[in-house]
Structure 1
Amino acid sequence: MVVQTVPLRDLVARVDLGLTVLCGADALDRPIRWAHVSELEDPTPYLVGEELLLTAGVRFPSDVPSYVAGLVASGVSAIGFGVEPEFPTVPSSLVEACAAQGMPLLEVPPSTPFLAVSQALGALLAEIAVREQRMLADSQRALTRAATRVRPVESVLTTLAVVLNCRADLVDPAFAPDDVASLVGRVASGRGPRSASTQVGEDHVTLDPVESAVLVVRRSAPLSPAERAVVAVALALLGLLRRDLESERGQIARLAASALLRSRVAGMEKVLGPAPYRVVAGESKADYDVLAQRYGPLVSKEEGGGFLALLGVGTEVSGPVGVSPVADSPSADGFASVPRSEVDRAAAEALALLARAKATGEPAFPASDLSSLVDPVAAREFARRELAGLLGRPELIDTLRAWLGQHGSWDRAAGVLGVHRNSVRHRISHVERLLGRDLGTADARASLWLALTWLD
């Protein structure tokens, strides 16, 4: 069972209690679970830790340093000493022992009964419980709304970061940051801890598996139980979204391939005309409706309105699309013959080009100019070297692609990504820091755009 706590300073701040801090002013962040009244010379057998121990010194101990040492060892957070009727002031021996052993000591005035202190603590605990329940409910609604947006995974991560004032990353174990790489690998493998937390520099870091990836949350302060519940909601949504995404991508490739095989039997040229053909990946519902009505099984629908289509070269589409050619030649029977592997390859390439098209707002085709002069292996090595600081940070790669594609316009890039313009500014500043590049220069922009084009 999780028991709520209140920082000692919140109780001290209650003006109606009139509490005075005699020592330990630098330890007022200590958590208080409850107030416990005891006049025993040795109350330690009845303590569980994080108490505010209230006493009037009715049976004041003869060995005060040992008395305080026992309370420190038992995990007592602070002592409240009520003056009168036993003592007109707090005994100096108690003040000295508490100061020497780092125990906060409060003076409780005669006008404040111990019951009032307990009631005030109960009220503070209730306020925190209500506040955290409201935060949890609001966060659940915000995360659920984020999961319905165009870029649901990124939206959920961004919303989680805003709600918890943290940094939230969905990390591929192969590209995990060095400071948590070992722990990410253990959590993702399923052979280590189901989840983990650690301290990295000044950050408190928690790690939780999400399918084959790991959610890494970094924050300056540890997560409260309610905040952990918010993370649990995000984990559930991210797990569903990743499974759906992977399933949809596989289904699209299978549908495109099966559509191709059906068309071969019927004679693709009768539907599309003479070769060559191309695979088109798009997101416009209007394009899908027109193409599906015209080409039927050659167009496969993706959840959310996206599609893959096998089309003739002359077919026009209106929205941003990724277009990849399929090599083709007539078979002996006069019908078009396209290997299944060619369609799978072209579909994967078209989906990758769609990301570029969404960033620029224009159709994207396989490069036929500079890129055609570059060895593909060398191009990929160049891309991974240029973008090394961003690998494993898909939200930063997507932001950089959208921002460069929109010629550095914060507003247009924000529109493409579905986020606030300040989020784009914040992410681009992270990109500059991680890459060590000034994105205000044409050389850096051109180099990074080519790297994004050639990235796997």
Structure 2
Amino acid sequence: MRENADKASRPLTVADALALPVLAAGQPQVVTGVDHLDRQVRWVHITELTDPASFLKGGELVLTTGMPLPEEPAGVRRYVDELAEAGAAALVIELVRRYHRPPDALVDACRARRLPLVTLAADVNFLEVTQVVHALLLGNQTDAVRRTQRVHEAFTALTLRGAGPEDVVRAAADMSGRTVVLENLVHQALICEPSGSTIDEALTGWEQRSRSVPSRERAEVCGDEGWLVAPVEYQGERWGRAVMLPAPARAGLSDFGPADVTVLERTAMALTIARLIHATPWERTAQRSALRELVEQRHHSPEDAHARVAALGLPAEDCGFLAVLVETGAPEAAEDRLSAELRTAGVPALVGALAAGRLGVLLALRAAQPWRPTVERLSRAAFTLDPDAVVSVGSEVTELSDAARSFGEAGRAAEAALPGLPLPEGRSFHELSDIGLRRLLYALREDIRVQGYAERQLGRLVDHDTRHGTDLLATLRHYLDAAGNKTTAARRGNLSRETVYQRLRTIERLLDCDLEAGERRTELHVALAALDVMRAR
């Protein structure tokens, strides 16, 4: 759909006009200005005057039989100079009545002024040419008005429903068929909606490329790469830019046209309004999106992932990466606080909410840079806001594409953070290596297979204690914790050895087992640990 719209919206050029049957019948030959046949034709002007330039406004295809051309070369040069100064698109001369070959003076003058000179070897009805070309031009203008109206209606609808910046940028890319990027004042690419290209192609080296492209007061094509850029404002001040990138050659799109300018101008306006409606800073939103793409591995390639985070200012080369998760009841405050701590520490990172109550942090670490001091600093900041916060880390990885694995490990460490179970001295965060039996069972506490196992192993004993007011489960716990030593179990339970013996026989009868069997004791010990962690919820 975009390809057809692009063809329809493309301005009529000199080359297009010469290809029309009404002119092609005259056997046109381009004598000079073959490199300028892409000039836009805005009108057709038939003239037999010696000074037609006074009737031109620019962009005219000038048709003549050659009758008014002066004889002397100086007059011919003056004639051509006036056409060029007036901005004529091309001069078409019929070689039927006065001339059978173009005068040398005319050829030289047109070549000097880079004005396309086209000869017609056969008679052509100039009036018919005028009618055909003008009909095309007026039809294109009508189509352009309709397209502009559709663009305005689409962006008005987006604004009225309170669309966010991602929706606006995506709509611009869909309408134009080109990649559209939203960047802030420090040239960080916050949103990139690729079309006809990859994120890697669009964003690699973004900051350096963007800084070479000057800003303008309105939508204009700028820079060596020919970006179409438009300013985005917030509360009367420039906040960033909307950028439409030229299409790759393989996409088959022409240079930017009026329709593209209209789309980008309306994009910038819609983004300005969206900035007023959506209070969350877009830099934060961009980091959240980038983190979720990494965690969920939604990037199309490792190169896309590198380009995406690098365009947000995070080093993606020659560094290591570490995932940190923070479970907290104050996620928004923690997001601000952790971001500030990292800026103060000078540690590049992406920070953003991954889910309700869960923040993700991806640290970019220089070679041999210790990560523990940074994580300890983040933990202290999180505990200041929420004493019950849980901070966990994954393992350090060298490839950005492995960040998802690091986040997965941090997630497993967080899931196994059993309340009340102390961490090693001097450490305030959880690691995967912390997961022993109790933490593993705590992480699996919702699994019905674990629940069923605990019930099958200990259910009858728990039921007996409930019905009879006994405390056999506690005796079993002391016995198992003492590795089968009855004397130790008696001391821990403040019981006589005879009472412990009696209770253990009752337990064996209720559970139909031999407590002297090592494997059976292990099974019961695991079941008891599972029961404990399920009761700890």
Contact 2:219 2:264 in 1 (8 A): no
Q: CA deviation at 1:147?
A: 6.2
Q: CA deviation at 1:214?
A: 2.4
Taking the aligned partners of 1:134 and 1:322, their CA distance within structure 2 comes to 52
Q: 1:218 aligns with which of 245, 265, 274?
A: 245
Q: 2:275 aligns with which of 242, 249, 264?
A: 242
Q: Deviations over 1:22-79 (max 9, x none)?
A: 3233321011121222223333333332221221122221223443233223322211
Asked whether 1:8 is paired with 2:17, we answer no
SS of residue paired to 1:70:
helix
Taking the aligned partners of 1:208 and 1:451, their CA distance within structure 2 comes to 37
Contact 2:213 2:224 in 1 (8 A): no
For the structure 1 residues 449 and 95, does the alpha-carbon distance in structure 2 shift closer, same or farther, using more than 3 Å as the test? farther
**Percent sequence identity over aligned pairs:** 22
Matches within 5 A, 1:88-103: 88-91=100-103, 93-99=105-111, 101-103=113-115
Contact 1:194 1:209 in 2 (8 A): no
Query: Can you give the 5+ residue segments of structure 2 that lack an aligned partner in the other structure?
Result: 1-9, 189-206, 248-253, 283-324, 340-349, 362-369, 379-396, 411-537
Which of structures 1 and 2 has the bigger CA Rg?
2
Equivalent position of 1:206 in the other structure: 229
Query: Can you give the 5+ residue segments of structure 1 that lack an aligned partner in the other structure?
Result: 188-192, 250-320, 327-342, 380-440
Taking the aligned partners of 2:327 and 2:226, their CA distance within structure 1 comes to 44
Q: 2:402 aligns with which of 446, 449, 456?
A: 446
Equivalent position of 2:496 in the other structure: none
Q: CA deviation at 1:8?
A: 0.8
Equivalent position of 2:261 in the other structure: 228
- TM value normalised by structure 2: 0.45
Equivalent position of 2:34 in the other structure: 25
Taking the aligned partners of 2:79 and 2:171, their CA distance within structure 1 comes to 49
Equivalent position of 2:193 in the other structure: none
Contact 2:183 2:240 in 1 (8 A): yes
For the structure 1 residues 28 and 129, does the alpha-carbon distance in structure 2 shift closer, same or farther, using more than 3 Å as the test? same
Q: Deviations over 1:82-136 (max 9, x none)?
A: 2333335544553454345432222346542221121122122123223323433
Code of the residue aligned with 2:90 in structure 1: it is A
Taking the aligned partners of 1:323 and 1:149, their CA distance within structure 2 comes to 33
Asked whether 1:74 is paired with 2:86, we answer yes
Taking the aligned partners of 1:324 and 1:448, their CA distance within structure 2 comes to 21
Equivalent position of 1:422 in the other structure: none
Equivalent position of 2:420 in the other structure: none
Code of the residue aligned with 1:364 in structure 2: it is R
Matches within 5 A, 1:40-59: 40-59=49-68
Asked whether 1:39 is paired with 2:48, we answer yes
- TM value normalised by structure 1: 0.52
Q: 1:197 aligns with which of 213, 220, 223?
A: 220
Taking the aligned partners of 1:116 and 1:134, their CA distance within structure 2 comes to 27
Code of the residue aligned with 1:325 in structure 2: it is G
Q: CA deviation at 1:149?
A: 8.9
Q: Deviations over 1:203-257 (max 9, x none)?
A: 23323123233223333666433332222322232122221111799xxxxxxxx
Q: Deviations over 1:300-325 (max 9, x none)?
A: xxxxxxxxxxxxxxxxxxxxx99523
Code of the residue aligned with 2:88 in structure 1: it is V
Equivalent position of 2:208 in the other structure: 178
Matches within 5 A, 1:328-347: 345-346=333-334
Code of the residue aligned with 2:374 in structure 1: it is D
For the structure 1 residues 443 and 102, does the alpha-carbon distance in structure 2 shift closer, same or farther, using more than 3 Å as the test? closer
Matches within 5 A, 1:306-317: none
Taking the aligned partners of 1:122 and 1:224, their CA distance within structure 2 comes to 20
For the structure 1 residues 244 and 451, does the alpha-carbon distance in structure 2 shift closer, same or farther, using more than 3 Å as the test? farther
Matches within 5 A, 1:22-421: 22-23=30-31, 24-62=33-71, 63=73, 64-91=76-103, 93-99=105-111, 101-108=113-120, 111-140=123-152, 142-143=154-155, 152-176=164-188, 177-181=207-211, 194-195=217-218, 197=220, 199-211=222-234, 212-219=239-246, 223-246=256-279, 323-325=327-329, 345-346=333-334, 355-357=353-355, 364=358, 373-376=372-375
SS of residue paired to 1:240:
helix
Contact 1:7 1:31 in 2 (8 A): yes
For the structure 1 residues 30 and 175, does the alpha-carbon distance in structure 2 shift closer, same or farther, using more than 3 Å as the test? closer
Taking the aligned partners of 1:48 and 1:29, their CA distance within structure 2 comes to 18
Taking the aligned partners of 1:58 and 1:108, their CA distance within structure 2 comes to 14
SS of residue paired to 1:171:
strand
Code of the residue aligned with 1:218 in structure 2: it is L
For the structure 1 residues 214 and 378, does the alpha-carbon distance in structure 2 shift closer, same or farther, using more than 3 Å as the test? farther
Contact 1:322 1:350 in 2 (8 A): no
Query: How many residue pairs were aligned?
Result: 288
Taking the aligned partners of 1:157 and 1:197, their CA distance within structure 2 comes to 18
For the structure 1 residues 451 and 102, does the alpha-carbon distance in structure 2 shift closer, same or farther, using more than 3 Å as the test? farther
Q: CA deviation at 1:450?
A: 6.2
For the structure 1 residues 322 and 108, does the alpha-carbon distance in structure 2 shift closer, same or farther, using more than 3 Å as the test? farther
Q: Tell me the C-alpha RMSD between the 2 structures.
A: 4.3
Contact 2:59 2:89 in 1 (8 A): yes
SS of residue paired to 1:155:
helix
Taking the aligned partners of 2:281 and 2:400, their CA distance within structure 1 comes to 35
Taking the aligned partners of 2:179 and 2:337, their CA distance within structure 1 comes to 31
Equivalent position of 2:415 in the other structure: none
